[in-house]
Amino acid sequence: MDFATTKKPFILKKYTTTQNVLTASNISIGYNKKSTKPLILAEGVNFTLVPGQLTAIIGPNGSGKSTLLNTLSGQLAPIDGTILIDNQPLAEVSHFIQSKYLALVLTKKEFSQHLSVFEFVRLGRIPYTNWLGSLGPDDHHAVARAIESTQLTELLNQKCGTLSDGQMQRVAIARALAQDTPIILLDEPTTHLDLVHKAQTLRLLKNMAQHHNKAIAFSTHDIELALDLADQMICVTERTITMGSPDELINNGVMDKIFQSDLVRFDRKSKRFSITD
């Protein structure tokens, strides 16, 4: 199989903070079932991810956060509509080109425990190295930058199997940064972390978006932290997806209704949820 070919010519470009990187164009997300009609979680969705911004995907359990993320990454085809990379359908871009354009960090621990931190991070350069995996000057620079940005220098020779959840999350993010793609998508990057490490992880992602000009989107249950740190938020609720800044979603009443329950109340002033009496 020739991974270097695409259905249409595709040239990877340098982006400014005003240019679009990834666009959802009138998409419907959900699952196709062979014996029944498709299960649609949301439809008629339009939004754009741009460089330099950190975007949080929030919503109740089962609302479709992970489904949306998998659709944006090409792991799951939209039931309707199109995912575009620089105005070209993602489905028409080869996996080889996609790997130079989009990095995906999953919650699952898919790694060899015997790899060192350096060996794991350098895996991000696979889309650029030859078949022997030899690193050139540009590859070494990308790996070094990723390691420095995620503060992993002291852990370079440590085996991944010996790391804490928080440390391994940083290593996974470093591999994505070494891949040097305009887009980074993360599924629940703060899962299993305590409050301090959750805040550190999201702060790291925000710094990466701003200082490395990346379009970064992540799904999360940590809505209050996302309200504090995200530039944009995509709220996934029952068959509806709403995008806006944290303040816009608060002022438009989206946060008041996100859980659709009388047991939880959202305070607009403090940007916090509480249990009702």
Among 180, 196, 229, where does a domain finish?
180
Residues 171, 190, single domain; the answer is no
* Cβ–Cβ < 8 Å for 55, 217: yes
- pLDDT tens digits, residue range 115-128? 999 999 999 999 88
Residues 63, 171, single domain; the answer is no
Residue-wise over 147-186: b if at least 16 C-beta within 10 A, else e?
Answer: bebbebeebeeeebeebeebbbbbbbbbbbbbbbbbbbbb
Residues 175, 187, single domain; the answer is no
Residues 150, 85, single domain; the answer is no
pLDDT (0 to 100) of residue 11: 41
16 in a structural domain: no
Residues 41, 130, single domain; the answer is no
Among 180, 211, 243, where does a domain finish?
180
CATH number of the domain that residue 205 is part of: 3.40.50.300
Among 134, 159, 180, where does a domain finish?
180
Residues of the domain holding 28 = 22-101+182-275
- pLDDT tens digits, residue range 81-108? 999 987 889 999 888 888 988 999 987 6
Count up the domains in the chain and report the number.
Answer: 2
The region that residue 205 occupies, defined by phi over 0 for left and psi between -120 and 50 for alpha, beta otherwise, is: alpha
Residues 43, 170, single domain; the answer is no
Q: Rounded to whole angstroms, how far apart are CA atoms 258 and 176?
A: 31
Residues 30, 96, single domain; the answer is yes
What's the whole-number average pLDDT of the chain?
87
pLDDT (0 to 100) of residue 18: 44
15 in a structural domain: no
Q: With cut-offs at 50, 70 and 90, classify the pLDDT of residue 131.
A: low
Instruction: Look up residue 258 and give its amino acid.
Output: I
Q: CA dist 184 to 54, 136, 137, Å?
A: 10, 23, 23
* Cβ–Cβ < 8 Å for 127, 93: no
Angle at Cα 207 formed by Cα 94 and Cα 98, nearest 5°? 0
Residue 256 C-alpha from the chain's centroid: 25
Residues 250, 261, single domain; the answer is yes
Q: With cut-offs at 50, 70 and 90, classify the pLDDT of residue 9.
A: very low
Residues 94, 166, single domain; the answer is no
Q: Rounded to whole angstroms, how far apart are CA atoms 55 and 37?
A: 31
Q: Rounded to whole angstroms, how far apart are CA atoms 100 and 129?
A: 12
Residues 173, 211, single domain; the answer is no
Residues 89, 191, single domain; the answer is yes
**What mean pLDDT is predicted for residues 12-17?**
43
pLDDT (0 to 100) of residue 240: 86
72 in a structural domain: yes
